[in-house]
Amino acid sequence: MDSIVTHAPDFFSDTKPGSTKLISRSLWNRILSFFCVGLSLLTLIPLVSIVYLVLKNGLPLLKWSVFTELPPAAGMVGGGFGNAVLGTLVMVGLGLVISAPIGILSAIYINEYAPSSRLAQAVRIVAKLLTGIPSIICGVFAFAVVVATTGAFSAYAGGVALAVLMLPTILLTSEQALLGVQHAFREASYGLGATKFQTIVRIVLPDALPAIMTGIMLAVARAAGETAPLIFTALFSQFWAKSLSEPTASLSVLIYNFSTVPFPHQVQMAWTASLVLVAFVTLANITAQLVFSKKH
């Protein structure tokens, strides 16, 4: 017993304040902290560079007329890209109308009705695979299904292509939102005599709605910047779209077209369109985080 008492202070001697080991640990912790902060700041360099270039080259032409006028002809000055802004909003809206109900209803089924079924497992696997498929493949799929069938490029085809891109994001985020609802809420609803359908509609969905809307806004932000699917489906148009069944302009395709021509005004207009598109995506993400984020 005496030996135990004698050696007990030695066991804790290296962790006393001011000890060499404690100082070395503190120093190593500070070094790693500075290293992590430095890497974090390093990742900001590409983002800051992109924002700087877009603002520098896009602001000179940013005025109200670019939202109301049509793109200029080759070598001409003036004009705008109002038809491209409208076309982007229309096709993203069509994609959202198609993908949101399918994604949310699918998430409800695989989470509330048959979470352990083979179908639910297959849906999850396919959704995760779709998130990694290149967007151009979605464009080729929409081309084969819509354009080749109807014989014309159209806003409908562009909406289908964007819906395929948005669907896995909406489905997976909706499922996670439903999983975040406490099981006690469901049990309390069942205890009061509510059916499963009533519980989902009146208890589960209202509680999960903020997270579901966040996923929807993130999907919209991704779809708004896609180019390849729209080249295969909606193509482009220099004029205002009179119907959804004809080629439709979009901001992403306009940027692609104008950035490759040898005319300075068109190149600068591509920068302005890039600024508008970046602003739209940023606002969508900020809205998702601030307005629809769940408050605890």
Domain containing residue 98: CATH number: 1.10.3720.10
pLDDT of residue 40: 86
Inside any domain, residue 224? yes
pLDDT reported for residue 276: 93
Same domain, 156 and 277: yes
Q: Please write the tens of the pLDDT for every residue from 1-51.
A: 444 444 444 544 455 555 677 777 788 888 888 889 888 888 888 888 888
Decide if pLDDT at 244 tops 60: yes
Q: Are residues 146 and 13 in the same domain?
A: no
Residue 57 lies in a domain: no
pLDDT of residue 16: 53
52 inside domain? no
Tokens of 285: 């993400």
Confidence of residue 252 (pLDDT cuts 50, 70, 90): very high
Residue 212 lies in a domain: yes
Is-contact 190 199, C-beta < 8 A? yes
Percent of the chain topping pLDDT 70 = 92
The span from the CA of 65 to the CA of 81, in Å, is 9
Query: What is the dihedral sign for C-alpha 140, 146, 149, 153?
Result: negative
Buried b / exposed e over 198-215, threshold 16 CB at 10 Å, is ebbeebbbebbebbbbbb
Instruction: Identify whether 53 is part of a domain.
Output: no
Rounded to two decimals, the pTM is: 0.83
- Mean residue pLDDT of the chain comes to 87
Instruction: State whether 35 and 171 are in the same domain.
Output: no
Contact 166, 96 (CB under 8 A): yes
Q: Is the domain of 286 the same as that of 227? A: yes
Closest by alpha carbon to 84, among 274, 242, 245, 236? Answer: 236
Alpha carbons 251 and 58: distance in angstroms, whole number: 14
Residues 87 and 26 in one domain: no
pLDDT given for residue 18 in this prediction: 52
For residues 37 and 97, state if they share a domain.
no
Position 30 in a domain: yes
Any domain includes 59: no
Q: Can you give the residue range of the structural domain that contains 29?
A: 2-45
Q: DSSP label at 276?
A: H
What per-residue string of b and e applies to 136-149 under the rule 16 or more CB within 10 Å gives b?
Answer: ebbbbbbbeebbee
Please say if the pLDDT value at position 288 is more than 80.
no
Claim to verify: residue 72 and residue 204 sit in the same structural domain: yes
Q: Which two tokens stand for residue 149?
A: 């069938």
pLDDT band, residue 287 (cuts 50/70/90):
confident
Q: Are 7 and 83 found together in one domain? A: no
Looking at the structure, tell me whether residues 70 and 172 fall in a common domain. yes
| Interval 249-271 mean pLDDT | 92
CB 233: neighbour CB atoms within 10 A? 29
Whole-Å CA distances, 132 to 45, 232, 248 = 26, 19, 27
Tokens 């739209």 belong to: 280
For residue 255, how many other CB atoms are within 10 A of its CB? 22
**CA dist., res. 136 & res. 231, Å (int):** 9
At 63, which helix (H) or strand (E)?
none
Do 83 and 193 share a domain, yes or no? yes
If asked whether residues 24 and 71 sit together in one domain, one would say no
In terms of domains, do 196 and 234 share one?
yes
184 in a domain, yes or no? yes
Which residue has better confidence, 24 or 92?
92
